[in-house]
């Protein structure tokens, strides 16, 4: 697997040192690639994603964020510099989607444990060379493992296309060790010198066919998921979910260092905004034109489904004494599925009401409250298991949802309890 999958994809295309990367990251990203031979991309190109995301937003160009303040009361403030002039923006809530390495400088009020986490976020710096050729070439791509030797991890011959105005190219990307050399020896603008020997070996007529070179150095390309990083990310996300603050972080370092991971992190932030009282088109439609609208109008709330993609087994707790006594969690997130423990129908005073139907309604309300912590709800239910003596109330909640249902008549080992409900939901829809 290291030779055929991990090294080509991660060392070859992303310049990661596989030996210094978290095994949890490989486990979370590689299984779905087994048996696949095709890579799917956006029909309109990568730019179409950014274009779609920015379509309904007011974009501020030539603007640099300097400081973010999110006090417990009053407006949040973002100090920016736009076209050389200082300005302070105010907002109800702020989503910070910058690289983790910038967070501490932007948000000086972070808690110590969050500052420590942000300080450990690191990115890989890959170097690349693009060589323009004076003659056509046949398409070819090679990935080289660490046993191949040389300074090149990825080598590609790219045919030209006269109709599109593109020239034939050679592309070479450095191995992690060569990236470190380029950075430490100040050769980030002379990467072609590092790969020259290997390029001549791979393309013998290089000197005769070369028109020019273009060196490309990306100081922070993708976050590096070091061993132990997944657990740290999970703890940070748990702290963020439990916080009542008005500042929310999202970016690729909080999900997976791939397009889908970054998108999932942003999607979770959108769900947080809606849950915190953000704009909902169904209740508060924007009556102004998109051109004049000064705020970001998200899609209807039903379209937001947060996707926690780092580690399975994330627990949601409600603080009940029985959780510690019996050793369980109120709910457990397993990828796109959430399993909710059997729930009794106690009232606000902690005691179960006499009416079995009210017990059931209380239980479902408790389950729905837990699911909302993961940006889900009873409308995502796919399975329901009920321990009860009267089932008439079920149709009130599930008439339009229609999950599978198993009902058992049995003794419940809690005094006064007549109803216990266990739910499974899926956020994959």
Is the whole model's pTM more than 0.85, yes or no?
no
What residue numbers bound the domain in which 82 lies? 47-122+225-303
Output the six-digit token pair for 58: 């007011």
Decide if 24 is inside a domain.
no
pLDDT digit string (tens) for 45-87? 777 877 877 777 778 888 899 999 999 888 999 999 988 899 9
Same domain, 151 and 286: no
Same domain, 91 and 157: no
Give me the average pLDDT of each 10-residue run along the chain (429 residues).
63 75 72 62 75 76 91 91 91 89 91 94 90 94 81 93 90 92 94 95 95 93 84 90 86 76 80 66 34 36 27 53 66 77 74 74 85 80 78 60 76 71 76
Domain count, the chain: 3
Same domain, 109 and 249: yes
Is residue 169 a contact partner of residue 146, using CB atoms and an 8 Å limit? Answer: no
Same domain, 106 and 137: no
Same domain, 257 and 155: no
Is residue 408 a contact partner of residue 330, using CB atoms and an 8 Å limit? Answer: no
Task: Give the CA distances from residue 33 to residues 4, 344, 364, 421, in Å, rounded to whole numbers and listed in that order.
Answer: 11, 42, 38, 37
Give the model's pLDDT for residue 181: 94
Output the six-digit token pair for 376: 């889900």
Same domain, 113 and 146: no
Same domain, 259 and 355: no
Sign of the Cα torsion 250, 256, 258, 264 reads: negative
Closest by CA to 95, choosing from 276, 260, 220, 230, is 276
Give the separation between CA 353 and CA 96, rounded to whole angstroms. 45
Task: List 425's β-bridge partners, or say none.
Answer: 338, 381
Residue with tokens 């696949």, as numbered in its chain: 36
Same domain, 117 and 148: no
Decide if 252 is inside a domain.
yes
Give the model's pLDDT for residue 368: 87
Which of these three, 175, 192, 219, is where a domain ends? Answer: 219
State phi, psi for 142 to the nearest 5 degrees.
-130, 140
Longest dimension (CA), the chain: 90
Burial environment of residue 35 by CB neighbours within 10 A (0 to 12, 13 to 18, 19 or more): exposed
Same domain, 141 and 205: yes
Which alpha helices (DSSP H) does 150-251 contain, by range? 176-184, 191-202, 206-209, 229-242
Same domain, 292 and 406: no
């Amino acid at each position: 697997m290291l030779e055929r999958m991990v090294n080509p994809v991660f060392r070859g295309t992303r310049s990661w040192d596989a030996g210094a990367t978290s095994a949890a990251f490989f486990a979370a990203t590689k299984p779905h690639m087994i048996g696949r031979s095709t890579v799917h991309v956006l029909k309109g190109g990568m730019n179409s994603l950014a274009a779609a995301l920015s379509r309904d937003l007011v974009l501020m160009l030539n603007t640099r964020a300097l400081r973010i303040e999110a006090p417990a009361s009053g407006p949040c403030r973002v100090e920016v510099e736009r076209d050389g002039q200082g300005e302070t923006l105010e907002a109800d809530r702020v989503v910070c989607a910058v690289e983790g390495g910038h967070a501490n400088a932007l948000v000086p009020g972070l808690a110590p444990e969050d500052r420590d986490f942000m300080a450990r976020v690191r990115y890989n710096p890959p170097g690349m060379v693009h060589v323009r050729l004076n003659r056509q070439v046949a398409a070819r791509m090679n990935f080289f493992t660490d046993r191949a030797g040389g300074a090149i991890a990825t080598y590609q011959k790219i045919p030209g296309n006269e109709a599109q105005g593109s020239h034939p190219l050679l592309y070479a990307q450095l191995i992690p060790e060569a990236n470190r050399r380029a950075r430490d020896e100040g050769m980030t603008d002379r990467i072609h010198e590092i790969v020259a020997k290997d390029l001549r070996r791979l393309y013998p007529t290089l000197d005769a066919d070369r028109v020019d070179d273009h060196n490309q150095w990306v100081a922070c390309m993708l976050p590096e998921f070091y061993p132990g990083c997944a657990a740290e990310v999970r703890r940070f996300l748990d702290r963020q979910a439990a916080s009542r603050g008005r500042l929310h972080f999202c970016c690729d370092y909080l999900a997976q260092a791939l397009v889908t991971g970054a998108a999932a992190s942003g999607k979770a932030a959108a769900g947080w905004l809606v849950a915190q009282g953000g704009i909902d088109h169904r209740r508060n439609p924007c009556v102004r034109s998109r051109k004049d609208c000064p705020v970001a109008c998200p899609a209807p709330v039903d379209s937001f489904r947060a996707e926690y993609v780092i580690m399975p087994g994330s627990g949601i707790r409600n603080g009940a004494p029985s959780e510690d006594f019996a050793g369980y969690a109120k709910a457990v997130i397993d990828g796109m599925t959430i399993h909710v423990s059997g729930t009794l129908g106690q009232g606000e005073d902690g005691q179960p009401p006499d009416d079995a139907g009210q017990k059931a309604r209380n239980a479902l309300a408790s389950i729905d409250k837990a699911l909302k912590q993961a940006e889900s709800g009873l409308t995502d239910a796919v399975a329901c298991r009920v321990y009860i003596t009267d089932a008439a109330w079920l149709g009130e909640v599930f008439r339009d949802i229609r999950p599978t249902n198993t009902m058992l008549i049995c003794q419940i080992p809690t005094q006064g309890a007549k109803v216990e409900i266990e739910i499974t939901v899926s956020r994959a829809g």
